[in-house]
Amino acid sequence: MSSYKGISNSDKQKIISALKARGAGSCPRCDDSQWTVSEYARIEVQETSARDSSAGATIPAVMIVCQHCGFIAQHALQPLGLWSHAATIESGRTTQREALA
């Protein structure tokens, strides 16, 4: 059973501030401007287009959801200044909460 309780209010405010500072605006699908910070995500990437690639690289991201049409936007945390390279590593994996600057 997971103990995940969602993104903390403090982290949500950091994400919102970072997006506003970079001019993030309305939804590209419906042009509405009501967004919700939803969940953290890891976008898997690989070095080649081979189907059996086992490279485990990921891009830490956050999902933002349009409250009008449900469009989901994913924003990489590193360009927003919200991903620390000096994150604490537990059991060989880094968690988003630990790495959030």
Binned at pLDDT 50, 70 and 90, residue 76 comes out as very high
Cβ proximity of 46 and 57 under 8 Å: yes
Q: Left if phi > 0, otherwise alpha if psi is -120 to 50, otherwise beta: which for 47?
A: alpha
Sheet with 35-45, side-by-side order of all strands: 35-45, 57-66, 72-76
Interval 25-70: pLDDT, tens: 999 999 999 999 999 999 988 877 777 766 678 899 999 999 999 9
Q: Left if phi > 0, otherwise alpha if psi is -120 to 50, otherwise beta: which for 81?
A: left
pTM for this entry = 0.73
